[in-house]
Chains A and B, each alone.
Chain A
Amino acid sequence: MNQKPGNKPLAFDEMLAAENLPREPYKTYHEWYTSQDAAHLIRKTQDAENIFRKTGITFAVYGHADSSEKLIPFDIIPRIISAREWRKLAQGIEQRVLALNAFLDDIYHKQEIIKAGRIPRALIEKNVTFLPEMIGFKPPGGVYTHIVGTDIVRTGEDQFFVLEDNARTPSGVSYMLENRETMMQMFPELFTLNKVQRVEDYPRLLRQSLATCAPPGCKGRPRVAVLTPGIYNSAYYEHSFLADQMGVELVEGSDLRVIDGRVKMRTTKGYEAIDVLYRRVDDDFLDPMTFRADSALGIPGIMDVYRAGNITIANAPGTGICDDKAIYSYMPEIVEFYTGRKAILENVPTWRCSEPDSLKYVLEHIEELVIKEVHGSGGYGMLVGPTATKKERADFAEKLASKPDNYIAQPTLALSTVPIFVNKGIAPRHVDLRPYVLVSDKVKIIPGGLTRVALKQGSLVVNSSQGGGTKDTWVLED
């Protein structure tokens, strides 16, 4: 029981409809699980941890001395999605991602959505993530968001909501791949019992997708590279993993230089041109000549090369505006405006604190709501009303009142749970899902994605920086 009686109803348990009564997608797994010896599974959990540690699948936590490398806890019970459930999700995600690209193209060109009065001009043009440098420029292939992570939560049998869009530099895909790899190593028999859709193609598809978006002038096989801020970045493991799996160079800003109108990397044989840069650094740091002058991570002049059409930057600069949580609140309108249809996937109801009525409501109901910064990510700078202390709520209310534009609020959803394996057996924990989407001349969605799980009983915060773990995510074949 993860809720006190008298409180809100119990969360939807994705595995069990009742004790010992597994839901359809989990039937085969559940049967296998009940036949397993607990001691054996405990040993497997330790094996998994050793695999991750040995491989160095770690992430850095900012603001912690001497804990520069941590493992993300991995839970051995998979999260299973039926083919039917997935089809609906995939359709909804594809629609949303296409709308996002159309939206970006529009706000950097004709701005029809503003002219139509569907979204306030100030929200776009005064937004710090809106890049005036992108106005009137069309990225190669017309693609803005080559890689998208759409965070999805579930509250019931058929209730799926999009919690946020990650169109800037979504991370975590390496965990999706390593989780599958680890599960297949530890429990090969499970993959003969269940028909699980493959995720292993992701690096190949990513490379293909990036190459397809190479600048039109590129001759021969496009040269792709991954740009990382370096080994001290929290997601460095993922950067090196993806470069390695794609078979492309992993570069840092100091390796690159603009020469003769091209971005070139310093090799042992001299400077060689790059056609597509999958960058894992933020817009601000990309080009010290255009953006932050103090950036040591970027490449001076790369934006000029970009605007001259001689390199593809993925994702395009200026896509971060889609991650803005105030923009998020307009997503139902955005989807409808560009696709002409109602959004297949619902948004979580959102109060924009910039609007006086909403602000008043939020301040009066702070103990029921989750309040987030519009530019926040990683679970930082947010308040979970129901679990916060009185003082935390009071402090947050003060911040909120002094800078309302900076916040949105959402109801505390009863996120669905999937059991995790604990020493005494299984126990339900809240989860979310981040599917990964590749956009080139077509949209490809990898079946499944990364399931993040809040390991603390009752907790709704799944971020790895805040004590979350991950699970392998299965989408079954029909």
Chain B
Amino acid sequence: MLGRTANGLYWMFRYIERAENIARLVDAGLRVSLTRAGSSDQDWHGVLESAGVREAYSEVHPELTSADAIDYLLRDTSNPSSVLSCIDSGRNNARMVRTALTRETWEATNEAWIDLKARLARKLKPADMPELIDVIKHRCGLIRGAFHGSMLRNDLYNFSRIGTFIERADNTSRILDVKYYVLLPAVSQVGSTLDNMQWESILRSVSAHRSYGWVYDGDYQSANIADFLILKVQMPRSLAYCYEKIVSNLDYLAETYGERLQAHETAAAIRTMLKRGSIADVMDHGLHEFLEDFVSRNNQLSAEITTGYRFYQ
């Protein structure tokens, strides 16, 4: 396959993953503003930060209001990470690699674009938000489903998956990093309503507020939440899960191509670190430092894959 095709698939699936994650972040933000008495527009500060667009936002909007924040995150095309921009870029990449996609995958992507472009063309009304968030998740789910149900398990598939999991690991670690102070045992007043609400919001941003209960018997505890999102390999948005997948996708490529690259070493090292680590060590070492370090290693891996498989000239 062409290096450019690998690149196109990788980014197509990064953008689709990002679109869904942004929708989830907005969902969690809306939830906070609904449940908290006297909620303020400042709640959106953290959401913008998690999406990695706080500074860019303030260049466009001098003030922080929930309406502007939601608009910026969902439909502002000057924001390359808005849902609309992601869907557009994802679909552009899909067009570029169309010969590599099954008809089902292409059509699900194209229809997502047609539908979301129309829905996000107008200013959003608060009353439409729940349905809109659902539709975004639904559309992304359809793309994923079509992809899983119809693509050959070859190198095309594996490059696409690597894109998904690099992006997901990046998103999960950012969400945690923005809220890391909430999870520090020293500062948090364990069991307070404020903490519960904050913690639930973290879990909701990764669609894990239900599954958490099944794994940890209900009670919110900061160390458990960090453990769940970082080390729990059963949790599909945890860093550990993402790296199980990345390593196996990369191994497939190494086996098929008969060549191991620097990327394989990097990925394996990160996986081992996540597999052997305990949450107590992470907290002792400093959650923020840990996450910062993780994000940069994740980026490094992405760069190594890009050059190792000749994505660009």
- Chain A residues with CB under 8 Å of chain B are 53-56, 230-231, 236, 240, 243-244, 249-252, 254-255, 257, 265-270
Contact = CB atoms under 8 A, between A and B. Distances in A.
Nearest to A225: B2
A240 B98 CA distance: 7
A244 B95 contact: no
Given A56-B107, A266-B3, 20 more contacts: A54-B107, A54-B111, A55-B103, A55-B110, A56-B95, A56-B98, A231-B92, A231-B95, A240-B95, A250-B99, A254-B313, A255-B4, A266-B310, A266-B313, A267-B1, A267-B3, A268-B155, A268-B159, A268-B253, A268-B257
B96 interface: yes
B180 interface: no
A249 B99 contact: yes
A268 B95 contact: no
Contacts of B165: none
Contact of A268 (B99, B106, B110, B309): B309
A60 to B, nearest CB: 11
A237 to B, nearest CB: 8
Interface centre among A249, A254, A268 (most CB of B within 10 A): A268
Nearest to B311: A268
Given A254-B4, A267-B1, A268-B1, A56 B313 contact: no
B7 to A, nearest CB: 9
Contacts of A270: 310
Given A267-B1, A268-B6, A244 B309 contact: no
A55 B103 CA distance: 8
Would you list the 10 A-B pairs with minimal beta carbon distance, nearest first? A244-B99, A268-B309, A240-B98, A266-B3, A56-B110, A231-B95, A243-B99, A250-B99, A268-B6, A266-B310
A255 B3 contact: yes
Interface in B91-121: 92, 95-96, 98-99, 103, 106-107, 110-111, 114
Contacts of B310: 266-268, 270
Contacts of A251: 2
Nearest to A246: B99
29 contacts: A53-B114, A54-B107, A54-B111, A55-B103, A55-B110, A56-B95, A56-B107, A56-B110, A230-B96, A236-B95, A244-B98, A244-B99, A249-B2, A250-B98, A252-B4, A254-B4, A254-B313, A255-B3, A257-B313, A266-B3, A266-B310, A266-B313, A267-B2, A267-B310, A268-B2, A268-B159, A268-B309, A268-B310, A270-B310
A214 B3 CA distance: 25
A328 B1 CA distance: 42
Contacts of B309: 268
Interface centre among B96, B99, B114, B155 (most CB of A within 10 A): B99
A244 B94 CA distance: 14
A249 B253 CA distance: 20
Contacts of A268: 1-3, 6, 155, 159, 253, 257, 309-310
A230 B4 CA distance: 12
Interface of B: 1-6, 92, 95-96, 98-99, 103, 106-107, 110-111, 114, 155, 159, 253, 257, 259, 309-310, 313
A254 B5 CA distance: 12
Contacts of A250: 98-99
Nearest to B106: A56
B101 to A, nearest CB: 9
Contacts of B95: 56, 231, 236, 240
A244 B95 CA distance: 12
B2 A265 contact: yes
Contacts of B3: 255, 266-268
Given A266-B310, A268-B1, A54 B92 contact: no
Contacts of B4: 252, 254-255, 266
Contacts of A255: 2-4
Nearest to B253: A268
Contacts of A55: 103, 107, 110
A266 B110 contact: no
B109 to A, nearest CB: 9
A267 B100 CA distance: 13
A266 B259 CA distance: 17
Contacts of B92: 231
A399 B5 CA distance: 46
A231 B99 CA distance: 12
Contacts of A236: 95
B242 to A, nearest CB: 22
A252 B309 CA distance: 17
A250 B259 CA distance: 25
Contacts of A240: 95, 98-99
Nearest to A56: B110
Nearest to A249: B2
A250 B107 CA distance: 19
B95 to A, nearest CB: 5
Nearest to B92: A231
B91 to A, nearest CB: 9
Contacts of A269: 257, 259
Contacts of B257: 268-269
Contacts of A231: 92, 95-96
A261 to B, nearest CB: 20
B62 to A, nearest CB: 28
A56 B99 CA distance: 13
A246 to B, nearest CB: 9
